[in-house]
Structure 1
Amino acid sequence: MYYEVYIDLLFLINFMMDYLLLLAVRKIAVFDSPRVRILPGALVGAFLTCLTVAVPLPAVVKMVCFHLLINSAMILTGLRIRSLRQFVRVYLMLYAGGFLLGGIFGFFRQYIRTGSLFFLFAVISYELLGIIWKLMRHMQRMGTYTCRIQLRIGDKMTEITGLFDTGNNLEDPQTGNPVCVVEKEAVKDLLTEKGERPVRYICCRSIGDENGLLPLVKFDSLHISGEEDRTIEDVWIGISDTKISANGIYKMILNPDILVGGVK
């Protein structure tokens, strides 16, 4: 059987799909890699795919290239990998994301009549994958997940225990960023650093107070310590005058959405 392959079209299709797939894995795995770094990763994946198709190789060698070498090169080039464990995790996520993305796109393929629609439905498939992941993440309860938090203002820093709370959907209406809340008593030493800090107020709802005002203070950085360390610079955090935890186990409530892309 004879097939005619247009190498330029093959490269373009693979480049776009690889880019969307790496972008999805970056979002799901919560990587701090800059988005522009994904571009060379997708280019490497598309180039190696075309090279493997064009060069006459035994079928078993092509299979190893497609399923091991090319994917590994994409991950190492497009994402900031720090350990073998992280690499294995991302490798599995790449296949899982590819499976979901391919399934969603496969559903739309029946409606594709022209080549230009391919790219439109590819982007739509990526957006749907993001929605599905967000729904799955919200379904997974994180109410008992605590972590160590480092807050910094100027030269001062304090370390406290924070709690991820799926019930915390508080957002800053000015920026659309998720808002975390910390006890005032836990950060009182930081708030005196370098004089008065910028303060804004947002509306919030709590038990016994349906129309409360929560002050937001700008911190220089918020660092979350866990399996994947994450640092967010110039973040606005709500300051609570009351205790967050009755038993004092944690001093801060984290909005889980802060891990999805950080803040704008």
Structure 2
Amino acid sequence: MVNFTMDAILLILLKKLLACPAGYGRVFAGAATGAAMTCIAIVIFRKTPVLRFVVFHGVINVVMMKAGLGIKWGRELFRGWVLLYIESFLLGGVFQFVQQYIRRGSMFFLLAVISYYLVSVIWKIILFFSEKGNRYCEVEVFFGEKNDRLRGLIDTGNTLSDTISNDPVSIIDRASVRRLTEEKKPERFRYISYHSIGKKEGVMPAFRLDKMQIIRDGNKINVEHPLVAVSEEELGSENYQMIINPDILTGGKKNGDKSGSSTSV
């Protein structure tokens, strides 16, 4: 139970930091997996500390992140592994600090909860001073009877807008659109023309979602009928499925902005 509690806290913190779309049920299942594997490893490798060390830090934590957060193999998993240990050191330090004032052993779970909230505050302070770290968010998108939770990137370089409505345009990957629409083409859509680095001109099909919720730093921003363009290519190597136009966060419109144009279909 002690190991499960600490693993759950670390995974919840990592979920927020990486803006992973995994639900809390999956997070707790990942924590339970990590706790069970730890107990088994302690018994099996009790006489081989070197092998136990390798299993603890090279196998169990990776399995726990995969099971609890669904992080893909590669760069994002390595990034999550590094952040998990930074969290662990930070949580351990905060836990010891709080323990000075609450000495009863039976108060462990209270200590853990207090430490979680203190570490959350510290992370928010770090993110406040780190623009890059604050660029990621969770996004829940709704279309018809379907909804999906994605990882989003708030990109200040995305100035794409619709010249008909002047609405800011976000970009969503094709695989997510397929899940939302079940391969059915939306009744009304248009083409948005754009230009980017390495590509002078191109067009993307665009349509309106019913609703979008942007979850950032524990707060939810509701956006009704946002305009999204469908990317034909993979968006990036850091495991995000949507590029959020920052003007959506302020509800702004780009009057007179010609960075994007559209053609109704």
| TM-score, scaled to structure 1 | 0.58
* Paired residue type of 1:121: L
Q: Within 2, Cα distance between the matches of 1:134 and 1:237?
A: 19
Residue in structure 2 matched with residue 243 of structure 1 by the alignment: 255
What is the percentage of aligned positions where both structures have the same residue?
31
Structure of greater relative contact order (alpha carbons < 8 Å, 6+ residues apart): 2
Aligned to 1:31, the other structure's residue is in SS state coil
Residue in structure 2 matched with residue 209 of structure 1 by the alignment: none
Asked if 2 retains the 8 angstrom alpha-carbon contact of 1:162 and 1:250, the reply is no
* Aligned residues between the structures: 188
Q: Within 1, Cα distance between the matches of 2:122 and 2:168?
A: 37
Asked if 2 retains the 8 angstrom alpha-carbon contact of 1:32 and 1:230, the reply is no
Aligned to 2:166, the other structure's residue is in SS state helix
2:239 aligns with one of 228, 239, 257:
228
Deviation at residue 139 of structure 1 after TM alignment: 1.0
Report Cα offsets for 1:200-257 as digits up to 9, x if no partner: xxxxxxxxxxxxxxxx86126868955332459xxx8665455397xx5589xxxxxx
After superposition, the Cα gap between the structure-2 partners of 1:91 and 1:242, relative to the gap in structure 1 and judged at 3 Å, is closer
Report Cα offsets for 1:162-192 as digits up to 9, x if no partner: 7449xxxxxxxxxxxxxxxx7741469979x
Deviation at residue 126 of structure 1 after TM alignment: 1.0
Q: Within 2, Cα distance between the matches of 1:53 and 1:162?
A: 43
Q: Within 1, Cα distance between the matches of 2:143 and 2:65?
A: 35
After superposition, the Cα gap between the structure-2 partners of 1:39 and 1:141, relative to the gap in structure 1 and judged at 3 Å, is closer
Q: Within 2, Cα distance between the matches of 1:24 and 1:220?
A: 29
Residue in structure 2 matched with residue 43 of structure 1 by the alignment: 32
After superposition, the Cα gap between the structure-2 partners of 1:79 and 1:185, relative to the gap in structure 1 and judged at 3 Å, is same
Deviation at residue 19 of structure 1 after TM alignment: 0.5
Are residues 1:32 and 2:38 paired? no
After superposition, the Cα gap between the structure-2 partners of 1:138 and 1:217, relative to the gap in structure 1 and judged at 3 Å, is closer
Residue in structure 2 matched with residue 185 of structure 1 by the alignment: 166
Asked if 1 retains the 8 angstrom alpha-carbon contact of 2:90 and 2:119, the reply is yes
Asked if 1 retains the 8 angstrom alpha-carbon contact of 2:33 and 2:64, the reply is yes
Are residues 1:218 and 2:229 paired? no
Residue in structure 1 matched with residue 79 of structure 2 by the alignment: 89
Asked if 2 retains the 8 angstrom alpha-carbon contact of 1:222 and 1:231, the reply is no
User: Of the two, which has the highest radius of gyration?
Assistant: 1
1:22 aligns with one of 11, 16, 21:
11
Are residues 1:129 and 2:119 paired? yes
Are residues 1:119 and 2:131 paired? no
After superposition, the Cα gap between the structure-2 partners of 1:122 and 1:220, relative to the gap in structure 1 and judged at 3 Å, is same
Q: Within 1, Cα distance between the matches of 2:40 and 2:56?
A: 11
| TM-score, scaled to structure 2 | 0.57
Deviation at residue 107 of structure 1 after TM alignment: 0.9
Deviation at residue 33 of structure 1 after TM alignment: 1.1
| Structure 2 unmatched ranges of 5 or more | 136-140, 145-152, 170-187, 191-205, 212-221
Asked if 2 retains the 8 angstrom alpha-carbon contact of 1:152 and 1:221, the reply is no
Report Cα offsets for 1:97-146 as digits up to 9, x if no partner: 1111111111112223323321111111111111111111111235xx8x
* Paired residue type of 2:53: M
Residue in structure 2 matched with residue 105 of structure 1 by the alignment: 95
Aligned to 2:27, the other structure's residue is in SS state helix
Asked if 1 retains the 8 angstrom alpha-carbon contact of 2:167 and 2:227, the reply is no
Report Cα offsets for 1:8-38 as digits up to 9, x if no partner: xxxx110100010011111101101111101
* Paired residue type of 1:54: V
Aligned to 2:17, the other structure's residue is in SS state helix
After superposition, the Cα gap between the structure-2 partners of 1:100 and 1:222, relative to the gap in structure 1 and judged at 3 Å, is farther
Q: Within 2, Cα distance between the matches of 1:126 and 1:217?
A: 30
* Paired residue type of 2:86: A
Q: Within 2, Cα distance between the matches of 1:48 and 1:162?
A: 37
Are residues 1:67 and 2:57 paired? yes
Aligned to 2:114, the other structure's residue is in SS state helix
Deviation at residue 153 of structure 1 after TM alignment: 7.5
* Paired residue type of 1:27: K
Report Cα offsets for 1:24-59 as digits up to 9, x if no partner: 111101101111101111111111211222233311
* Paired residue type of 2:58: L
